[in-house]
């Protein structure tokens, strides 16, 4: 009998929650033979990264995963059953009726999938149960970068596909052409995906005065007005190249999540954010900067520091200092000029390190495998 999984996702304000749960749902279905339903409250957001999703259809199947629309107080559909494993992603609340189904069924593994953090407490709390009002245990599952945590999302073929792509200049130029990008290989190609960021103008200045040319691919998001203002324009046009000194900026359309990795693989440096693109940038094996999701009381800066300290671990002190300074400046509205020029003195080392990091991380089991094993052990 195939194990059934229900994954509940609430889209808070961005793509990360659906981005993570959609990858997980597909992987459980394709690589672990599970029957998966993904419950999503905002189909329109989902559609932006997966155009096959129909926004007006409450139940549909995409790539072998059943997609169901829900709200926290929606009742369970008539043919409702409760899965063997239930994941509430990022502490979204399950509908009361659904919890009732779980209680009636009895043998259900209930998991809360937490946000990714490199902070040491995640390993301490990983897989701990907590008794809920319904008399059911809920386990807290923490993705992470060490054996003691739940791992990172990584499809079985991901790095093989990456390596084949990187070995083929043709695949790369064909992919970039689908975005309307013609890349001159003498120039550094940079992807830019971040939250509104007051450091951006000073970084664009640094790029425009750089020793080599920089071609920036700007992804959809809140940076568009900042870049438009930088070029003294009311708005940016798709496909146009905006130039200043050694800097070119080009706006690119929404990319299907399925091909998002190819963008990161194609670039020499990636600016990523949130959770999902942050992890994909690490699998890309390219130098990157992380714009972390800002939290109240600056709690995100501890999370950022925890990641930098493990990512930096094998680097020489001087590179560590410069990488940290650059990441901090990007996340705190700091001045980017000297941070960037210092960082780029270590560009080759950072390139090797990015590959090394992805090789280290691939030795650990991935998140879907860890979840599937957790269920088998729990039974």
**What DSSP element (H or E) covers 173?**
helix 169-178
Residue nearest to ligand TRH (CB): 16
Are 93 and 72 in contact, with CB atoms under 8 Å apart?
yes
Does 306 bind ligand TRH (CB under 6 A)? Our answer is: no
For helices 16-32 and 257-266, the axis angle rounded to 10 degrees is: 100
What is the nearest approach in angstroms of ligand TRH to the Cβ of residue 260?
A: 4
For helices 317-331 and 299-311, the axis angle rounded to 10 degrees is: 150
Does 15 bind ligand TRH (CB under 6 A)? Our answer is: yes
Does 268 bind ligand TRH (CB under 6 A)? Our answer is: no
What is the nearest approach in angstroms of ligand TRH to the Cβ of residue 263?
A: 8
What are the structure tokens assigned to 10, written together? 């609430």
End-to-end CA distance of the chain: 14
- The stretch near ligand TRH (CB under 6 A) out of 67-75, 161-169, 272-280, 351-359 is 272-280
- The stretch near ligand TRH (CB under 6 A) out of 24-32, 67-75, 119-127, 249-257 is 249-257
Output 68 or 194, the one with its CB closest to ligand TRH. 194
Does 88 bind ligand TRH (CB under 6 A)? Our answer is: no
Output 82 or 218, the one with its CB closest to ligand TRH. 218
Does 115 bind ligand TRH (CB under 6 A)? Our answer is: yes
User: What would the DSSP string read from start to end of 228-263?
Assistant: HHHTT-SSPPTT-EEEETTEEEEE-----HHHHHHH
The residues facing 4 across adjacent strands are 35
Q: Could you give the string, one character per residue 282-301, with x where binding to ligand TRH holds by CB under 6 A and - elsewhere?
A: -----------x--------
- In this chain, which of 26, 138, 273, 286 binds ligand TRH, going by CB under 6 A? 273
Output 145 or 193, the one with its CB closest to ligand TRH. 193
Does 324 bind ligand TRH (CB under 6 A)? Our answer is: no
Does 47 bind ligand TRH (CB under 6 A)? Our answer is: no
- In this chain, which of 70, 141, 193, 230 binds ligand TRH, going by CB under 6 A? 193
Are 251 and 240 in contact, with CB atoms under 8 Å apart?
yes
The residues facing 37 across adjacent strands are 6, 66
Does 12 bind ligand TRH (CB under 6 A)? Our answer is: yes
What is the nearest approach in angstroms of ligand TRH to the Cβ of residue 293?
A: 4
- The stretch near ligand TRH (CB under 6 A) out of 57-65, 251-259, 339-347, 358-366 is 251-259
Output 19 or 287, the one with its CB closest to ligand TRH. 19
**What DSSP element (H or E) covers 60?**
strand 59-62
Does 276 bind ligand TRH (CB under 6 A)? Our answer is: yes
Provide the pairing of β-strand 214-218 with 288-291. unpaired
Q: Could you give the string, one character per residue 205-234, with x where binding to ligand TRH holds by CB under 6 A and - elsewhere?
A: --------------xxx-------------
Does 9 bind ligand TRH (CB under 6 A)? Our answer is: no
Does 143 bind ligand TRH (CB under 6 A)? Our answer is: no
Nearest to 258 by CA among 161, 126, 136: 161
Are 83 and 72 in contact, with CB atoms under 8 Å apart?
no
Q: Kindly list the catalytic residues.
A: 17, 275
- Sheet with 241-244, edge to edge strand ranges: 241-244, 247-251, 214-218, 188-192, 269-273, 288-291
For helices 257-266 and 158-166, the axis angle rounded to 10 degrees is: 50
What are the structure tokens assigned to 150, written together? 């739940």
d(CA 333, CA 251): 23
What is the three-class DSSP state of 189? strand
Does 254 bind ligand TRH (CB under 6 A)? Our answer is: yes
Q: Which residues bind ligand TRH (CB under 6 A)?
A: 12-17, 19, 49, 115, 193, 219-221, 254-255, 257, 260, 273-278, 293
């Amino acid at each position: 009998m195939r194990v059934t999984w229900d994954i509940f996702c609430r889209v808070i304000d961005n793509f990360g929650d659906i981005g993570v749960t959609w990858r997980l749902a597909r992987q459980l279905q394709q690589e672990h033979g599970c029957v998966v339903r993904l419950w999503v409250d905002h189909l329109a957001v989902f559609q932006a990264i997966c155009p096959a999703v129909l926004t007006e259809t409450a139940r549909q199947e995409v790539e072998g995963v059943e997609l169901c629309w829900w709200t926290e107080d929606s009742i369970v559909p008539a043919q409702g059953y409760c899965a063997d494993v239930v994941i509430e992603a990022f502490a979204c609340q399950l509908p009361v009726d659904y919890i009732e189904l779980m209680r009636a069924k009895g043998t259900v593994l209930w998991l809360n999938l937490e946000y990714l953090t490199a902070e040491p407490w995640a390993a301490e709390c990983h897989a701990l149960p907590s008794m809920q009002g319904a008399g059911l245990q809920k386990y807290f599952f923490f993705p992470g970068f060490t054996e003691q945590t739940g791992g990172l999302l990584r499809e079985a073929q991901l790095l093989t596909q990456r390596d084949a792509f990187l070995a083929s200049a043709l695949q790369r130029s064909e992919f970039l052409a689908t975005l309307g990008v013609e890349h001159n290989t003498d120039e550094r190609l940079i992807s830019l995906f971040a939250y509104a960021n007051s450091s951006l103008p000073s970084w664009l200045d640094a790029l425009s005065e750089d020793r080599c040319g920089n071609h920036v691919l700007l992804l959809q998001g809140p940076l568009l007005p900042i870049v438009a203002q930088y070029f003294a324009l009311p708005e940016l046009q798709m496909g146009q190249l905006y130039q200043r000194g050694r800097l070119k900026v080009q706006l690119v359309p929404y990319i299907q999540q399925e091909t998002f990795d190819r963008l990161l693989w194609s670039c020499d440096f990636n600016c990523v954010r949130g959770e999902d693109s942050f992890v994909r940038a690490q699998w890309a094996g390219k130098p990157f900067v992380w714009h972390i999701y800002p939290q109240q009381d600056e709690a995100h800066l501890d999370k950022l520091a925890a990641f930098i300290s493990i990512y930096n671990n094998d680097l020489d002190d001087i590179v560590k200092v410069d990488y940290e300074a650059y990441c901090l400046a990007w996340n705190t509205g700091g001045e980017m000029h000297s941070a960037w020029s210092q960082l780029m003195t270590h560009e080759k080392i950072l390139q090797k390190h990015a590959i090394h990091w992805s090789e280290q991380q691939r030795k650990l089991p991935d998140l879907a495998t860890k979840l599937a094993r957790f269920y088998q052990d729990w039974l």
